[in-house]
Each structure stands twice: as C-alpha cells, then as structure tokens.
Copies of this chain bind each other. A is one copy, B any other.
Amino acid sequence: MSDQKTAVFVVMDGVGDRPLKELGGKTPLQAAKTPTFDRLADEGQNALMDVIGPGITPGSDTAHLALFGYDPITDYPGRGPLEAFGAGLETKPGDVAFRANFATVDSNMVVLDRRAGRDFEPKEQAELQTALDGIEIDDVKVRFIATVEHRGALILKGEGLYAEISDADPHEAGKKILTVRALKPEAEKTAQVVNKLMRVAHERMKDLETNKERAKKGIPLANALLLRGPGRHSDVPPLPVRYGIKAAVIAGGALYIGTAKYVGMEHIPVEGQTGRIDTNFDNIAKKTIETIEAGYNYVFVHIKATDNASHDGNAKEKILAIERTDSMVSKIIEKVSDKIVIAITGDHTTPISVGEHQCDPVPIVFWSNFIRPDSVKRFSEIDAAAGALHTIRGIDVMPLLLGYSGYIEKFGA
C-alpha cells in the first residue's frame, strides 16, 4: 500500500440548487465567489452525484449513510438509533431504538396532548429522565434520554428484539394509546415489551414532582410516553472495522453527529459550531486541521447553514454560507494540502425556489496533489456535468475517498 493521506469530506447541507431569476439565472453556487472550490475543481476530478439514485430525493439521514459508504436501503436502521446517537446514547448491534415524546393522557390512556404542552424546563427533563432511564421489562433494559422540549430517545437492550412493530401513537388527541402488534413473528417479544413499557412509564411518570407542579400551574401533565421511528442497530461493521481507519465528525446538528457516530466516527466538538450561519467557521477550520494532524484517517465536516438558508428561501444567505465555507476550506488547504485527499459536496439539492429537498444531483469534487485533472474549471451544479467521474452515487464516495487516501487494500493479487 502506498503513502496514506487523511480523507477530508466537507458536506454543505442542501447546497444543490436550480437557476434562480433573482441571480440572473445562476444557481447560488454559480453566483457565489468561491476561489478555493474553483481551484479544487480546476485541479481535481469532478462529478455530478445522485446521492441515493436517479430521481430519488434523499433524506438527510439516508443521504449521509450513503455518503459514509453504507447502502441507504438495506443498511438504514431507521431514525431511532440515529437520534439516540445524536442525543448522546449509544445503541449496539441488536438494540432497538425509538424517538420518544412526553405526552398527556387521561386515566384511560386517551391522549389529551401529544406533546404535553411542548415546553419543558431542564429540571423537569432531568426528573422525567431519571424516572424512565433504567426501567426493566422482563429481561429487557430501557435507556432513556430527554433532549429538546418534549422530545427524547429511548433504547431497548436485550436478546431477540426487532423493530417491525406497529405504532402506539394514535397520532391525534382524543384517541387511546394503541396496543402495539408484531409486524413479523420474530418481533412478538418486542411488541409485548413496548406494551408493558407504556403502562410502566405511565405509572412512574404520573406522580412525579414535575407533574404536581404542572397541575398547579394548569399546564399539560407529562404522564405518558409516545414512541415512534423504531429502528434496530444492524450488524453492519462500523468504519473502523470495515476499513481499519480512525474517523472523526465535526458537525453542529444532532442528526449528523448521530449518523456519523452510528457508523463509528468520533465526535470532535468545536466551540461556536452552531449549525447556523453564525457558526464559527474559523474554529471549524482550526479544529479540522488539528484533527488531521492528530492522526485521524478520515474527517467529516458538516456545514448546515446552506440548508437552513434554502428552507428559508434566502438566496443571499445561502451564497454567504457557501462563501464562508469556501474561505474555511482555503484555510485547511493552506495548512495541510500535502497531507489530505479532500472531497467537497452537498448531501442533496434544496432549491431556494422550493424550500424543500428535491431530487436533482449535486456537484462533487475530489482533490489531492496527485489526482488527474479534468476539464472542469468551476465548482457548480452546471460545470460538474463535464467532470471525468461523470455521474457517481453517494455510496461511491467513501471507496473513492479512501481508495485515493490509501486505505483500501488491493482486491485480488
């Protein structure tokens, strides 16, 4: 195997766009001043990328799973485990995880408020978490963490658990919490555990100090748990096992951190990284360089501001987010250009004109000091079509990045 370099993977969330009248028919990437991205496009290899497949609009979770080299269909564990990892709990292969809500029920388990009023103080979240975390149902252990407002993540740990169960959440107020059924025979045990858990959680929650206070104030009680998005942590090997690499994630948003940790990356916190346009780009650059120099083999850097601007229909802010990321990358290149293979891309297209994820492919550029150049001169959705890599899929990114970085062994003799 030849010299190894650190693979640096920069994702601008939702950066792909469509021509905009207000930008004279240009996309935000075309309208932005991006001297660094353009240099990388000029000297490197470009492609358009269908992150999942042609015509498929990627979700943020499936997109990142594909970009990390996992099959977004067969290897997708559902939202539960990704949320749990993002919240700070860790699932292991075989665990089943859920997104959880505090809710309000009456004595017949009829749902009165699916979000228990939505607002929670840290003290309330702490008491509810303590009441729920550590419950045992038969031989299954329950882990629970409260996250934002009425939300949390819940994990079932034990033998023979499966995610194929029906929903307990009636999805509207005025209806009773539903009895969960197994959707395949192997999931029978899990369905029974969840049904028992619904009652045990209610018993443990209803008389807490939090609820006495909430009753006094006349705000909805947090006396039940609603679970959704069940997912089972699969046996797919994480990145360190699959490729023998030490991988890091530098991101602001919980879902991105969660998905990255699910595949075995270590989260490197950055002061001032917010996942918004006010994120501290300088600190992100500094920490990325430090992480490269600390000997990590792969560093994933996620910038969320581009997607927020897209959802808000704010072209000016999207351009600003792109230009700030360009400048951030220039600082990284300046310091460690000889030590890295770098790829710049987005996880999907979120056109300013639509404000939601769409199916259009995104541009991607691969650069290192040895990579063959192609005829592309600028980094954009339009220019990338002439790239030497033509059209690739999200799942091709990891082999390409790690292949060029020297972490994939020769296949055959």
A binding-site residues for B, Cβ under 8 Å: 1-2, 18-19, 27, 48, 52-63, 65, 72, 76, 79, 351, 353-354, 356-360, 370-375, 381-382, 385-392, 396, 398-404, 408-413
Chain B contacts of A391 at CB under 8 A? 389-391
Chain B contacts of A48 at CB under 8 A? 388, 390
Interface pair A399/B56, CB less than 8 Å apart: yes
A61 and B413 in contact, given A391-B390, A408-B56 (Cβ under 8 angstroms): yes
**Nearest 9 CB-CB pairs, A to B?**
A59-B412, A62-B412, A55-B399, A55-B403, A385-B388, A359-B403, A55-B400, A54-B396, A390-B390
Number of copies: 2
Interface pair A62/B411, CB less than 8 Å apart: yes
Interface pair A58/B396, CB less than 8 Å apart: no
Chain B contacts of A398 at CB under 8 A? 55
CA distance A357 to B65 in the complex (A): 29
Extra A-B contacts (17), CB below 8 Å, given A57-B403, A59-B411, A353-B370: A54-B399, A55-B401, A55-B404, A55-B408, A56-B399, A57-B408, A61-B412, A61-B413, A62-B412, A62-B413, A72-B411, A79-B413, A359-B399, A360-B404, A375-B386, A382-B388, A385-B388
Q: Which residue of B lies closest to A27 (CB)?
A: B372
Q: Which residue of B lies closest to A407 (CB)?
A: B55
Interface pair B79/A358, CB less than 8 Å apart: no
Chain B contacts of A19 at CB under 8 A? 370, 372-373
Chain B contacts of A62 at CB under 8 A? 411-413
Instruction: Give min CB distance, A184 to chain B, whole Å.
Output: 19
A381 and B389 in contact, given A62-B411, A400-B54 (Cβ under 8 angstroms): no
Instruction: Give min CB distance, A371 to chain B, whole Å.
Output: 8
Interface pair A59/B390, CB less than 8 Å apart: no
CA distance A398 to B359 in the complex (A): 13
Interface pair A412/B58, CB less than 8 Å apart: yes
Interface pair A58/B356, CB less than 8 Å apart: no
Out of B2, B55, B388, B404, which one reaches A356, CB within 8 Å? B2
Q: Which residue of B lies closest to A353 (CB)?
A: B370
CA distance A203 to B390 in the complex (A): 61
Out of B2, B57, B374, which one reaches A411, CB within 8 Å? B57
17 CB < 8 A contacts A-B: A27-B372, A54-B392, A54-B396, A54-B399, A55-B399, A55-B404, A55-B408, A58-B411, A59-B412, A62-B413, A359-B408, A360-B404, A373-B382, A375-B386, A385-B387, A385-B388, A386-B386
CA distance A372 to B401 in the complex (A): 27
Chain B contacts of A385 at CB under 8 A? 374-375, 387-388, 390
Chain B contacts of A388 at CB under 8 A? 48, 382, 385
CA distance A84 to B391 in the complex (A): 39
CA distance A401 to B56 in the complex (A): 10
CA distance A339 to B203 in the complex (A): 56
Interface pair B372/A18, CB less than 8 Å apart: yes
CA distance A386 to B390 in the complex (A): 9
